[in-house]
A and B are shown apart, each in its own frame.
Chain A
């Protein structure tokens, strides 16, 4: 598995809690190195080890850490890349929700080795949606919840998000879209100025 997610967790812990905390996580997880390379492959079991170590070091449940991670992935202004790539999914938050099913294919276009779980979106009408995905590691659905929350803000939409009891090992997320144009949201230009 690519180091992308591990590295995201590493960056999040360093930025939010400081390098010293990350170093303690490295020691606790007994990593043979002190930083993940986003584009190199690692044993999938390492992700679980690092998450466990982070939970102990921070004294926080994995759900809250992973949800924060998901939010930071798109709301951190230094790292506009992922937010922009996700915004290509649609003009409105509703479009964006529908584009989630394309997400694994879009990810594979970017990096052929990046395997995201299949995401299924059910539009139940009246602004109610259900998202189902098989999590690659325990709690992965909370990253998606954090990410969806931040993207809703980005689009200026008002939503309620909840993790439902899992079904057949799948994470089930309920989305209630209350107002698509609740606030201004953030601007999105299709083409980025070449820097």
Chain B
């Protein structure tokens, strides 16, 4: 058939004549299509993928028609060989009819009015290699597909490892938070640090004092100026408490606006009262937060270890709390030192206004 196997190249056509096997080695996913659309040749790798495509052999009259086996999805309207010619040298999106494989393609004219088309998998290459059980030998020696597959696998391995690292870091972070001794808002010690400090104080057999401080009118700050202002006030209070205590004292924030101060080596009620009074005086000064002045105050209940035969942390905390309750009951801005009367519920023994 003249049309299928023209013997004369198009006039003025200078090109390269290649044996089919050579073309196959260079471009194992090529198609050679006649001007009428019949498949004259197909690369070994592409043949493997197409599977059932009938090839022109000496015995077969003609190959299958390109558009019977493939469809050109993009650009649209490419349904005949003349259309393919119009898109010579441009990227085509080609799919196997009946599904199973999609390719990007590039077609150029041969010397006889037909086209040579090269196909590749594009980004779906890993799935295609898997689906068609392709091997290294199915790709040209210059093809970077195998390197791409290597990279896909490397990326997956590294991502998996990073994910594991993130999980471990997350675990370590929550563990660290659990073990933290600092109140993140104020930088003071937290409840856990207080418990540890108290246990140590009890073991040390040295006298110590425990102050329980509760802010007055703090709720109003939060309600009127918002939580951001409330947080700022707490930070100012924290600085103030640190300033009014010794470096060996432990100042802990144990609740929203509640603080406990552990003072090792300190058991003299009059000195303690003086310290507490100073703190309350300082708290009574208005605190400026941005454009507003916040007026708060504080009440303190305190107890000393020498009150007890064997001081126990939980008992002392409770007693300091009882004293604080009494202080609040007696009016704001008070200091109350715990006594047995308080424990028996015999009213308050407030020492009167502290300032």
State the A residues within 8 Å of B (CB): 37-40, 81, 84-85, 88, 91, 106, 109-111, 189-194
Contacts and interface: CB of A to CB of B under 8 A. Distances in A.
Contacts of B168: 37
13 contacts: A37-B165, A39-B158, A39-B165, A85-B153, A85-B154, A85-B157, A88-B147, A88-B153, A109-B151, A190-B146, A191-B130, A191-B152, A194-B126
B134 interface: yes
Nearest to A40: B165
Contacts of A189: 130, 133
Given A190-B149, A191-B149, 18 more contacts: A37-B165, A39-B158, A39-B162, A39-B165, A81-B157, A88-B153, A91-B135, A91-B136, A109-B151, A109-B154, A110-B157, A111-B158, A190-B130, A190-B135, A190-B136, A191-B127, A192-B130, A193-B130
A193 B150 CA distance: 14
Contacts of B149: 88, 190-191
A192 B136 contact: no
Pairs of residues from A and B, 5 with the lowest C-beta to C-beta distance, nearest first: A191-B130, A191-B129, A110-B154, A88-B150, A191-B126
A88 B144 CA distance: 12
B156 to A, nearest CB: 8
Most chain-A Cβ atoms within 10 A of its Cβ — which of B127, B137, B150, B162? Answer: B150
Contacts of B161: 38-39
A14 to B, nearest CB: 16
Nearest to A91: B136
The interface size bin for chain B is 20 to 34
A190 B134 contact: yes
A87 B10 CA distance: 47
B260 to A, nearest CB: 34
Contacts, number: 54
Interface string B261-275: 000000000000000
Nearest to A92: B136
Interface of B: 126-127, 129-130, 133-137, 146-147, 149-154, 157-158, 161-162, 165, 168
Contacts of A192: 130, 153
Most chain-B Cβ atoms within 10 A of its Cβ — which of A40, A84, A190, A193? Answer: A190
Contacts of A40: 165
Contacts of A91: 135-137
A39 B129 CA distance: 30
A97 B149 CA distance: 20
Contact of B158 (A106, A110, A190): A110
Given A190-B136, A191-B127, A84 B153 contact: yes
Contacts of B153: 81, 84-85, 88, 192
A38 B152 CA distance: 20
A164 to B, nearest CB: 31
Contacts of A37: 165, 168
Nearest to A4: B161
A116 B149 CA distance: 22
Nearest to B132: A191
Contacts of A85: 150, 153-154, 157
A38 B157 CA distance: 12
A109 B161 CA distance: 16
A123 B151 CA distance: 28
B136 to A, nearest CB: 5
Contacts of B150: 85, 88, 106, 109
A191 B145 CA distance: 11
B95 to A, nearest CB: 20
Nearest to A82: B157
B103 to A, nearest CB: 16
A109 B146 CA distance: 14
A111 B168 CA distance: 20
Contacts of B130: 189-194
A37 B162 CA distance: 10
A48 B158 CA distance: 25
A192 B133 CA distance: 10
Contacts of A38: 161, 165
Nearest to B129: A191
A191 B135 CA distance: 9
A190 B151 CA distance: 12
Contacts of B134: 190-191
Nearest to A38: B161
Nearest to A110: B154
Contacts of B154: 85, 109-110
B221 to A, nearest CB: 44
A194 B151 CA distance: 14
B26 to A, nearest CB: 19
Nearest to A195: B156
Contacts of B165: 37-40
